[in-house]
């Protein structure tokens, strides 16, 4: 059975070994690799273990009827665009389960008006994973802080806003954190 295991693992920035260690009970990187390539059958028990380790529903591991890919016309390298040496396809982006979005209405830092950011929601025990990435943190009374997560000190977050010259924000005890994982930009 083909699955989206490799795609979902890479979208979360995990190695085979890291995903294997997150499984309960832990497994090996070789086993995860075999499940990804189809050399080992991705049974329902395996789907449940791996989905729990990725924080998704087991059904998300199955290929979607609407999932498609685009043929690769060229590969852009240091010497410019060249034809691929063998036929290739590029996957169409699919949001990870549980993702949330941030719409950019006015340009800020690297982001332009009209951009959409897909964010992975992280619980407090995973905040440290987001250091040096752009994050959205809820604040009291329906407000938010957005910018580069500079540090996590206990339950306090230090966030550098994207606008040049802006002062660092301190956010205390947020219930979750949205880590930017995909930028959607129309040209």
| CATH label, 100-184, candidates 2.10.109.10, 2.40.30.110, 3.10.620.30, 3.30.56.10 | 2.10.109.10
What pLDDT score was predicted for residue 25? Answer: 93
| CATH label, 5-61, candidates 3.30.70.270, 3.40.30.10, 1.10.260.40, 3.40.50.1970 | 1.10.260.40
Split the chain (187 residues) into runs of 10 and give each run's mean pLDDT: 81 91 94 88 90 89 69 87 86 79 90 92 94 95 93 94 89 95 89
Residues in the chain: 187
For residues 108 and 169, the answer to whether their CB atoms sit within 8 Å is no
Q: Give the residue extent of every domain in the chain.
A: 5-61, 100-184
The reported pTM is 0.59
Query: Are domains 5-61 and 100-184 of this chain identical in fold?
Result: no
What pLDDT score was predicted for residue 2? Answer: 65
């Amino acid at each position: 059975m083909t699955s989206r295991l490799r795609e979902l693992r890479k979208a979360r920035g995990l190695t085979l070994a890291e995903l294997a260690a997150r499984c309960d009970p832990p497994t090996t990187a070789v086993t995860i690799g075999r499940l990804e390539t189809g050399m080992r059958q991705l049974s329902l028990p395996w789907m449940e273990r791996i989905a729990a380790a990725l924080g998704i529903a087991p059904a998300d591991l199955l290929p979607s009827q609407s999932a498609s890919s685009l043929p690769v016309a060229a590969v852009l390298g240091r010497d410019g665009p060249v034809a691929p040496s063998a036929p290739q396809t590029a996957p169409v982006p699919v949001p990870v389960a549980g993702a949330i979005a941030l719409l950019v209405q006015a340009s800020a830092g690297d982001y332009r008006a009209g951009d959409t950011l897909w964010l992975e929601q992280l619980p407090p025990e995973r905040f440290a994973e987001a250091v040096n990435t752009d994050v959205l943190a809820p604040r009291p009374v329906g407000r938010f802080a957005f910018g580069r997560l500079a540090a996590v000190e206990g339950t306090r977050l230090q966030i550098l806003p994207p606008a040049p010259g802006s002062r660092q924000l301190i956010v205390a005890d947020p219930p979750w954190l949205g880590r930017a994982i995909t930028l959607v930009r129309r040209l």
